[in-house]
Structure 1
């Protein structure tokens, strides 16, 4: 059996799919996303992503080619098969790594496409989420910037600006490639490796923008009646997630165990909440290279918010004081173990697992390593972790919903 992945060079990796398929994927990753755009640049990466994908030569020959950008990275990929993989990957590499910034009509068209894309995304929960980020990190938090800002900035981008941004993003320091397939032929691997080596990336990319993020806004209460999607209110208790925790596989596993302990009906807290009429309380973690946040939230009737708040605070206090019982720890470990094992034997989940590790940790943690760490997370570890993270004096409460401004705590 082949190893899950192998490193061919410092910027080229091969992921071996566990399940038989003729599908072959090739990804180009850049470790720069929205966070590397200044205030005036915000949105230029989105436009670059569109422009490059649409200018790939002979695109009609490809089964599927696409790109994406988020706060921390950019990704371009092509879906192919064992018969056409070499040809298709050569087409993608030529389009993405040897682009021509000379098509004014394409630039104009994609500006219009992006404007329509942004305006059409009317998801009130996403808007509320962005509001929450601004409350916790300030207006300069890039991911939470206003849609209008991106539309205005995008309209002002010239081909010259796009070329400059490309040179900042696509250089040897930022780019890596991932080839994925099931028991790929050595000859195919060699040909694609040669194609990757044949494209010389710049060794000296232009410096990326240094975006300053405000510190987490501690101990604030914000009531906002603008965001509502039903008659219930949404209660959010927010905590800062230090970057050192975000970069620790073990601490992220610990946080996942706490999330399961909070949310799953197998354990006492979710049952208690159900008894007072709360459908569910969720713990979400959001992580970027420069910031992290934990949000405990629930939709609830107005009169039950004090009961919910008291219940969550008691839950966190018990975590810090008593940890989790040995029997519940064993259940939580098994839940995580089952998820990890399923992820590692699924083709696309394995690809995402390895790519994300390379993006955020510069190395890959394999299943055997994860299982060892899981066994090390006991009640004492959870107590110490909770004391570091869930400090109510450093939390922030945000309540969304119609009439939330009239709530009294």
Structure 2
């Protein structure tokens, strides 16, 4: 295995992936501006809900975010062009990571995935061909790369698919309940509604999605099944792009196919040369790379399973939900009222949520315990007199009855948040 990973291979796949990656993040950044996403999240809100512990990211709010996203779009273009690639990819990674942690209202797996892939790309020589860097500095040009370098990207996407398939092994996915809910929101046509009411159809959708996530990477790696895996990927991701409206992720996922293709054929197609290069052994997996990537991937393996070690059902409590490839697995609806007690006068009143949050924020905060906790801390800062805060919160998962989410007897102004273990103010509920 070590010998196989240290073999030099043609770098055509890595070079093409760099170009696709740059183009996609350029479209994502400029699209966020042109489609009003930046305006909705960072301009028309009083504040955003950053990841807990990242209070300094409150600075990423207001008109300056227009320039911030323009900068990321320009960096995406420069990545595609391979212009001062190393500095540009590092700069983009920092900017994207900061804006990712700055808001949770539009939490999405692919935002996190871009963080991880951009980080890996910081260490890969993806500018050694088809780049402005080669044009200005011809001495850096090379046609080979150690196999383990592009394999890092394959390994990361493999982790995503594996845990995405693992997360689907729960009753509401396996019996088609969530598939029916998911698909019902994307068309009002009588034919479509009749189709998704057929048990066989929602079960087929559920199990095909599960099996796709579980087997797609092995199928792409094995030459005999690769063409079928590519066709399945095209159908799966383009269908998701058409019906589920999930941004660049389907196209981002498809871009990884270039890392599995026959490098010799790709080299001829892209660079119009069919010279056969000797695949030499390298010793490039140095101690520096080991120090970076061994802990990195250990962390990537452990983080998605942390919810198994936290008391309660993650589908209800959402403790251990984020950063775990648990996307589009359930529908949550919430009801929220926040009661404030003036400790001096003993007056009790309900806080005006509409004065602080827009409709999107209210919708997601009402069923997200960590964001409820954050909001309570912000409410506490608004009053000049000492207060206690009590939450009336109810959540429905996959259209079940509403259950109480937050302990109404706990003063949330004084409650603490625990990242790693169960927060006792979040109530437990088995979902039957």
Per the shorter chain, which TM-score range? under 0.3
Relative to the length of structure 1, the TM-score reads 0.25
Greater RCO structure (CA 8 Å; 6+ sep) = 1
Is the strand fraction higher in 1 or 2? 1
Is the helix fraction higher in 1 or 2? 2
Relative to the length of structure 2, the TM-score reads 0.24
